[in-house]
Amino acid sequence: MTIAIIGAGLAGASAAAELRDRGHEGDIVLVGAESQAPYERPPLSKDILLGKGTAADAAVKDQGWYDEQRIELVTGARVQSVDTAARSFEVDGRTITYDQLLLATGATSRHLPMADESGVPVAYLRTLEESQALKEHLAGHLLIIGAGWIGLEVASAARQAGGTVTVVESASLPLVGPIGEDMARVFADLHREHGVDLHLDTSLTTLERDEGGVLRRDAGASKGGARALLSDGTEVRPGLVLVAIGAEPDTALAETAGLDVDRGVLVDARLRTSDPHIWAAGDIAVHDHPDLGRLRVEHWDTAIQQGRHAARSMLGDATPYTRQPYFFTDQYDLGMEYVGHLGRDGYDEIVVRGDHATRVLNAVMIAGGRVVAGMHTNDWDATDHLRAWVGREATDRLRDTTIALADTRED
């Protein structure tokens, strides 16, 4: 049996590894559009920018591992179409026929046309090359559009590199959608304390070249900086503008293959698409989660776990994927982990334990009496307890902040 995987990112590589771990002896072909072997993206906005990690550190597996495991890795090859009737696709002029196919084509940065068309130096951050290029500009004046995870992590790296950082965010607080107001305030304070000029409830109204600017002297073709006007009246003259306004699932291939797509590739509880021989995992998959409903999750852990799960499903396992989303971030000296999912309605109760001054905190978010999510900042023992609570009815002990989180469960 030949199993093909299109998309050689974390989900694709995790699936390939799991296939061998589960004893699949047949051929495995892993095809990726990027020139590198699969790598992890979290270091692109953290260790690589901070100069603490290299491209080699970010690799999912050593180069030799693919040969040892008899996994054919084809890099630098973007698959254009899949013939679902013949169960085949073309790569580098060669036809690959599959029994099962996993699509793990991930996501790409969401673009801001106004920035792209402005003629000023604009950066995005999704790939290793983009991270390496961005690192060279951290010490200048960086204007970051979007105070999401990536925008804030880059802000942190840039401040640590001695750069001047302006962040523009249209919401009232950074990260307010995924973590809610109470904990979002922790991040707003953190960045302001570290000298980030954070403009909330604000948008970019004008972006144009500043021919007189001297900031991007090293930028070769693109000399001069930018002049940006914000909706709150502020004028900024950055050397580089980083657009960090989210990602879009890369559904191009799934669409040409005729699969059901709705802001991602629709998959059932086992990660199977509308074609019985095609599966999807990671950033691209809109999963039918048995507890959470339709959900697309753009997280490192989901790419690994769904990649592995899809591998087991392709080998015949009928178990649904039920894992709760998990996410982490590192900014300055603050580490955060988050488990669960705040639906559109958010939470109606939050129980916070810990100390705002030291930012050693944990928070449990409750909607309709049920714990929907939990997170901590620098409270590393909390994760397992938070995970155990997600999905359960909240109790009086959980709400009683005089009782330590670890002692709240009665089972």
Ligand X SMILES: Cc1cc2nc3c(=O)[nH]c(=O)nc-3n(C[C@H](O)[C@H](O)[C@H](O)COP(=O)(O)OP(=O)(O)OC[C@H]3O[C@@H](n4cnc5c(N)ncnc54)[C@H](O)[C@@H]3O)c2cc1C
**Which of 52, 70, 78, 263 is the binder for ligand X (CB under 6 A)?**
78
| Segment near ligand X (CB under 6 A); pick from 38-46, 159-167, 184-192, 208-216 | 38-46
Instruction: Please provide the DSSP assignment of 23-51 as one string.
Output: T--S-EEEE-SSSSSPB-SGGGGTHHHHT
Residue (240 or 398) nearer to ligand X, CB: 240
**Which of 41, 135, 272, 308 is the binder for ligand X (CB under 6 A)?**
41
**Which of 19, 28, 29, 32 is the binder for ligand X (CB under 6 A)?**
32
d(CA 21, CA 27): 14
Asked if 183 and 211 touch (Cβ cutoff 8 Å), the reply is no
**Which of 4, 71, 115, 125 is the binder for ligand X (CB under 6 A)?**
125
**Which of 16, 28, 45, 121 is the binder for ligand X (CB under 6 A)?**
45
Asked if 305 and 297 touch (Cβ cutoff 8 Å), the reply is no
Return the amino acid letter for 141.
H
d(CA 306, CA 102): 11
CB 208 to ligand X: min, Å: 27
**Which of 5, 7, 148, 152 is the binder for ligand X (CB under 6 A)?**
7
Return the amino acid letter for 336.
M
Give the strand pairing for 88-91 and 265-267: unpaired
| Segment near ligand X (CB under 6 A); pick from 5-13, 52-60, 187-195, 384-392 | 5-13
Return the amino acid letter for 87.
R
| Segment near ligand X (CB under 6 A); pick from 178-186, 260-268, 324-332, 346-354 | 324-332
The number of beta carbons lying within 10 Å of the beta carbon of residue 63 is 11
Enumerate the β-bridge partners of residue 249: 107
Rg (CA), the chain: 22
d(CA 237, CA 215): 9
Go through the chain and tell me how many residues it has: 411
Number of residues that bind ligand X (CB under 6 A): 36
Reading the block at residue 152, the tokens are 């804030």
**Which of 24, 61, 87, 126 is the binder for ligand X (CB under 6 A)?**
126
CB 273 to ligand X: min, Å: 15
Contact track, ligand X, 327-366, x by CB under 6 A: xxx-------------------------------------
| Segment near ligand X (CB under 6 A); pick from 42-50, 205-213, 374-382, 387-395 | 42-50
Question: CA angle 255-297-87, nearest 5°?
Answer: 35
CB 213 to ligand X: min, Å: 27
Residue 393 has what DSSP assignment? B
**Which of 60, 100, 102, 106 is the binder for ligand X (CB under 6 A)?**
106
Binding of ligand X by 298 (CB under 6 A): yes
Contact track, ligand X, 243-262, x by CB under 6 A: -------x--x---------
Reading the block at residue 392, the tokens are 């359960």
CB 206 to ligand X: min, Å: 27
d(CA 317, CA 133): 43
Residue 272 has what DSSP assignment? B
Residue (8 or 96) nearer to ligand X, CB: 8
Strand boundaries in 46-91, DSSP class E: 71-74, 82-83, 88-91
Asked if 32 and 7 touch (Cβ cutoff 8 Å), the reply is yes
Contact track, ligand X, 169-208, x by CB under 6 A: ----------------------------------------
Q: Name the residues that contact ligand X, by CB under 6 A.
A: 6-12, 31-34, 41-42, 44-45, 78-79, 104-107, 125-126, 150, 250, 253, 282-283, 298-301, 303, 327-329
